[in-house]
Structure 1
Amino acid sequence: MDKNRKVKIKVEDLTIVFGKQKKLALKLLNEGYPKKEILEKTGCTIGINKANFEIYEGEFFVIMGLSGSGKSTLLRCLNRLNEPTMGKVFINNDDITSKNNKELLEVRRTEMSMVFQKFGLLPHHTVLTNAAFGLEIRGEDKASREAKAQKALDIVGLNGFEQQFPIQLSGGMQQRVGLARALANDPEVMLMDEAFSALDPLIKTEMQDQLLELQDTLQKTIVFITHDLDEAIKLGDRIVIMKDGIIEQIGTAEDILTNPASDYVKAFVDKVDRKSIITAGSLMTEKPTLVRFKKDGPEGALRKMRTTGLEILPVVDIHDTFLGFVNINEVIQAAKRKDPTVESIIHMNVPSVSKDVTVEEMLPLISETRSPIAVVNDQNRLLGIVTQTSLIIEATKFNEEEINELKEIANNQ
């Protein structure tokens, strides 16, 4: 747990069983029986199997998996549209699984909003009254709810469309109305169930970009369901990958790509273009052999090169500020001239990047130099180096796995 961030949602041992013999199914589950065998013995389906996780305030938290993995079932537990069979869900440390219907309704009206895949718009209501519908249900007066709805429509770029009807709008615009309706309630948490999956690719990309822009401004806690890993990587601060109701792994996109927790996760991430995800921080060699300016002259630099077998070394000052690189041929010539320092042979016009720069962004930097790429902090202090070899190897990894492989792994486990 990150102690510096407030936990907004906490899920403890959350389990959902669908079917009549829930007690027997839970007993078998606790004894270690797999989902398929429990279904055969009891007729019950395990929707969620002992999920545990925390979501931080202001986090964009993505839950993903194939059809039947339990991702939407899990989302609907967070506002108890699906009733947990076992376990607890806390919102702001308040156990919503213990609330009665009246209390739960208040949580849904004030703390959470939901955006559905199929937009859920009322066909005979205008854009404005659709956006205001949640506030109408809450009991707010017409002037107040329409003012809030108008503000939400302005945020999602639908100013001027207030009196249109859903049938007059494109799919992307209809989804914006759904998003405006959720925002109008000013919820602390937004639950989005495959909200963009029904859109064509271009509109989907536009909606993703707009949602990220909104999140930069509004800093809502968003729980987003998708089966699209590229979408999850683009949107999510952290990603959950599910299979058969079980959480296989939780982590950042880079955590999951570089350290998949299972064969199933590995098959998932093998389909991704890693160049746009893997960063300098993951690839860099920390604490590389250094030439320290003024302390190490050409002879000292040459000795370090011969000891390590490296032909190019980074140069730093006494504060570890990155100055550039020296190469072995010029170091040898400087040593022959008995130069007192390496100052005259430091190549200063060389690339340097922050830890967050991706492989895709680094590749153009190596086209005109033989030097590695220096990884520096905001003060230009050297954190590590990315060699051209490691960069090229990472860039040339490609994905050949198809979704059928994921299904095959899922069926065989």
Structure 2
Amino acid sequence: MSKINVEGLTKIFGKKTKQARELLNEGSSKDEILQKTGCTVGVNNASFDVEEGEIFVIMGLSGSGKSTLVRLLNRLIEPTKGSVQLDGKDLAKMDTKTLREVRRTDMSMVFQKFGLFPFRTVASNVEYGLEIQGVDRLERREKAEKSLELVGLKGYEDKFPDELSGGMQQRVGLARALANDPEILLMDEAFSALDPLIRKDMQDELLDLQQTMKKTIIFITHDLDEALRIGDRITIMKDGAIVQIGSPEEILTNPSNDYVEKFVEDVDRSKVYTASNVMVRPETVNIEKEGPRVALKRMRDANISSIYVTNRNRKLLGIVHADQVSDLVKNNKDDLEEVLEADVPTVTSETPVTEIMEMLATSGVPIAVVDNDRLNGIIIRGSMLAALTGVEVNEDGSVS
């Protein structure tokens, strides 16, 4: 069972919601409904699941409905129709007391504006939610200190918010949300107000924290680079409706429509792609049954100057070069091991492209992609450039 299940969630703001719903069902656009009824469609029939422990990013431009959607998830905004289930329990059917308890213990929100009390210390700000719940003073102080240590603010407990940088204040906001030890974090444009460098640091901080916390995180952003950087899956919204849900790679490589394609056209793919996205099928020679003449022929046919050597199980043994193999043939020798070069540049299929680019710049041979000793592909400059510019690369390295 998914941690969160959303079915047909819709929110219409205004007085003529019944008429607006009818128009919505007939396929009228958000602008048409506003013109005819004066109602605003905040969210239009959103359905999705969020798995436990994943970072699920909801993104879109201003007015797309992403912030309304996240507030529907904890019923800060009441839905017009549809359901939100948390561990199989429908939030719409909860009474006020039960819902309040869910917000206090199961879901915490982190906002773009830090909302810190200037007259309270950092620790006192983090304790605030626990204080409202009536948690004992010593216990809430202990939990606050633990949360502050998690976000890298140990030693700042007795400082005041105006003594901290913007990034540090956002960490206090995150620590406050973590102090309740919630199962779910709702983060609404949490890093948008930060300077670019601090923002990147906070993204790294969140990813590092997630390695130990394993929280279910729903993260709202208008920044595609941020979404691609931190999201396990991404939902893209337009005019209140979901237009695509997918992994960062799926969003980049298979946009569902022109709107998503326009969104991703200027994305720096090197921040998202790994070796598996840019590798091509390698030319190889099997040392257990093939010798110098076969190796030389394959290099001539493929117009390459070196070829990787494997055994019958495709275990990578090394590389041989055309001039050395040609000398073996001239001297009527049959053992490729005489010229086998075992020290070759290798990466795994999960190695980020940003790391591979520097290797390619200094390597005189293709980069071998090896997983569990098995050669799965090679990376050449042409395949790297083609993938990063959005050109489709064939298995042999040619482009379509």
TM-score with structure 2 setting the length: 0.91
Q: 1:364 maps to what in 2?
A: 358
Question: Amino acid of the residue matched to residue 385 of structure 1?
Answer: I
1:294 to 2:288 alignment? yes
Alpha-carbon separation, structure 1, partners of 2:74 and 2:103:
7
Question: Residue 367 of structure 1 aligns to a residue in which SS?
Answer: helix
Which whole-Å CA distance do the structure 2 matches of 1:331 and 1:292 have between them? 14
Aligned to 1:343: 337
Matched, 1:227 2:222: yes
Match of 2:61 among 66, 85, 102: 66
Secondary structure of the structure 1 residue equivalent to 2:124 = helix
| Equivalent in the alignment of 1:279 | 274
Unpaired runs of at least 5, structure 1? 1-5, 399-413
Query: Which stretch of the first structure deviates more once superposed, 336-345 or 49-58?
Result: 336-345
Report SS of the residue matched to 2:220. strand
**8 Å contact from structure 2 (residues 360, 380) kept in 1:** no
Preserved CA contact (<8 Å) 1:127 1:177: yes
| Deviation, structure 1 residue 171 | 2.2
For residue 28 of structure 1, the aligned residue among 23, 27, 35 is 23
| Matching residue within 373, 384, 388 for 2:377 | 384
For 1:350 and 1:13, the matched residues in 2 are separated by 54
Q: 2: CA distance between counterparts of 1:207 and 1:264? A: 29
Deviation at 1:311?
Answer: 4.6
User: Aligned equivalents of 2:177 and 2:187: distance in 1?
Assistant: 10
SS of residue paired to 1:199: coil
8 Å CA contact 2:167–2:194 kept in 1: the answer is yes
Give the deviation of 1:81 after TM superposition.
Answer: 0.9
**1:31: how far off?**
1.7
What is the root-mean-square deviation of aligned Cα atoms in Å? 2.2
Instruction: Report how far residue 370 of structure 1 moved.
Output: 4.1
1:80 CA displacement: 1.0
DSSP 3-state at the match of 1:24: helix
The C-alpha deviation readout for 1:118-164, integer Å capped at 9, x for no partner, is: 11223333322221111122222222222212221222233333333
Paired residue type of 2:146: K
Write out aligned runs for 1:6-405 (5 A): 7-286=2-281, 288-306=282-300, 308=302, 310-377=304-371, 379-395=372-388
The farther-off stretch of 379-388 and 68-77 is 379-388
Give the whole-Å Cα distance in 1 for the aligned partners of 2:186 and 2:18. Answer: 30
> Closer, same or farther in 2 for the Cα pair 1:338/1:13, shift >3 Å?
farther
Specify the SS of the correspondent of 1:63: strand
> How far does residue 321 in structure 1 lie from its aligned partner after superposition?
0.8
- Name the CA distance, whole Å, in 1 between partners of 2:260 and 2:356: 27
* Residue identity in the other structure for 2:52: E
The Cα of 1:396 is off from its aligned counterpart by: 6.1
Alpha-carbon distance, 1:43 to partner: 1.5
After the TM superposition, which of the residue ranges 137-146 and 66-75 deviates more from structure 2? 137-146
Give the superposition deviation at 1:366.
2.5
State the secondary structure of the residue aligned to 2:3.
strand
Q: What is the deviation of 1:397?
A: 6.9
- In structure 2, list runs of 5 or more residues that go unmatched: 392-400
Partner of 2:50: helix, strand, or coil? strand
Contact 1:359 1:395 in 2 (8 A): no
Q: Shift of residue 185 of structure 1?
A: 0.3
Cα distance in 1 for residues equivalent to 2:344 and 2:321? 12
Deviation at 1:313, TM superposition (A): 2.9
Structure 1 residues 206 and 362: alpha-carbon distance in aligned structure 2, compared to 1, 3 A threshold: closer
CA distance in 2, matches of 1:27, 1:205: 44
Aligned counterparts of 1:167 and 1:391: Cα–Cα separation in 2 = 47
Question: Offset of 1:8 from its aligned partner?
Answer: 1.4
In structure 1, how many angstroms separate the alpha carbons of the residues matched to 2:240 and 2:341?
55
